[in-house]
A and B are shown apart, each in its own frame.
Chain A
């Protein structure tokens, strides 16, 4: 066991856990942030995507030892922001979310994309979401939603 300090959704935490504990399990079981989903559990589906210091991580493969002193953003914190609202509304309006299980990961990956590139091409959007699987939509509506959210962000002069 080790005392591990980090920040989640702007709140500092110190947990006493095994350094190999998965970030996903710490977020869900210790911090009760259940917006973070577990799909495949082996880094292939992206449902567990969170941001660590502003870039996407698959929390199912992240040992908690690797996030010491880092800042994590999960869907549970991001959903309080205008940036989230823009992305979520685009997903809702364009059918980018059906069963919804992949959606938290999709939205976090979309946000990670906008932080680097607020004006992506369709190809760039597809590459950025290439680690996120969706078994309902067939992806086209998700990509449309991402491009629409980018457009809306520009219209509103949003700083991602």
Chain B
């Protein structure tokens, strides 16, 4: 017998999590699929469940200093409506699922779910997003690239709740977002790519390449990015083959029902090439 908890506020939720190992249910758009049996039957859970969508105190998008902070129960539709969320993130969110699922699903849920095909994650990696975890013991903050360490594997302790994400504001001069799927909406990605670049007087000041659905986690390689900073746009573009060869070592997709390994690799490389060739 598993227990179900409906906390009235964050304090109560954290108290419950400190005492019980729970599935955390936010919008339900992942868990309700994974745990679904058939019509009329309850989803099956093998441990307790805590429902957090009622926690209004976590439903916010606010600017704190140079950061944009988004709470755990904020859904995608609210992110699309927000005047302070960067356009690149909105371009990603508008291609996630469908209008009805965007009214239900949360950005933080996409992090907790930690699927290698989580579209929002690609944008969050690009922005060096920090994850805020809260428990009765206190708060801690961790970069998303450390927080997610495998397929559906996250460094959340059992008593912790992801309470918000902290997105440092950036001003890029070039951005690209590309999602490849089999349908315009409601499609789980075959490959995703987000790229950004900041050019000042023809010199690369900052460059970020992020790939989704091509490995066990989102792929971003800061040590490669660092090599290209300081180059001129022409120098960068003349190195395209070399850059793709380097990234290719980390693009390790699988074949599954959505796509094949070879297709994913080839298309990921082509999108990255397109991004590099259009930097100006």
Q: With contacts defined as CB atoms under 8 Å apart, how many contacts are there between chain A and chain B in the complex?
A: 107
**Are B186 and A44 within 8 A (Cβ)?**
yes
Q: Which residues of B contact A132 (CB under 8 A)?
A: 98
Closest partner residue, chain A, to B5 (CB atom): A19
Interface residue? B156 (CB, 8 A): no
Contact yes or no, A61 B32, CB < 8 A:
yes
Interface residues of A in 1-36 (CB under 8 A from B): 2, 18-22, 24-25, 29
Residue of B nearest to A68 (CB): B54
B42 touches A56 (CB 8 A): no
Q: Is B33 touching A43 in the complex (CB atoms < 8 A)?
A: yes
| Bound complex: CA A42 to CA B25 (Å) | 16
Mark interface residues in B178-200 (1 if CB within 8 Å of A CB, else 0): 00000011100000000000000
Interface positions of A from 55 to 75, Cβ below 8 Å from B: 55-58, 60-63, 65-66, 68
20 A-B pairs in the complex with CB atoms less than 8 angstroms apart: A19-B6, A19-B49, A20-B25, A21-B42, A43-B101, A55-B100, A56-B100, A56-B103, A58-B101, A61-B29, A61-B101, A65-B51, A65-B53, A68-B6, A109-B99, A112-B99, A112-B100, A127-B185, A130-B99, A131-B186
Q: Which residues does B use to contact A, with CB under 8 Å?
A: 4, 6, 25, 27-29, 32-33, 35-36, 38-40, 42-43, 45, 49, 51, 53-54, 77, 97-101, 103-104, 184-186
Given contacts A41-B36, A44-B186, 20 further A-B contacts (CB under 8 A): A18-B4, A19-B4, A20-B42, A38-B39, A41-B38, A42-B33, A43-B32, A43-B98, A46-B100, A61-B27, A61-B101, A63-B51, A65-B4, A65-B53, A65-B54, A66-B104, A109-B100, A128-B99, A130-B99, A131-B185
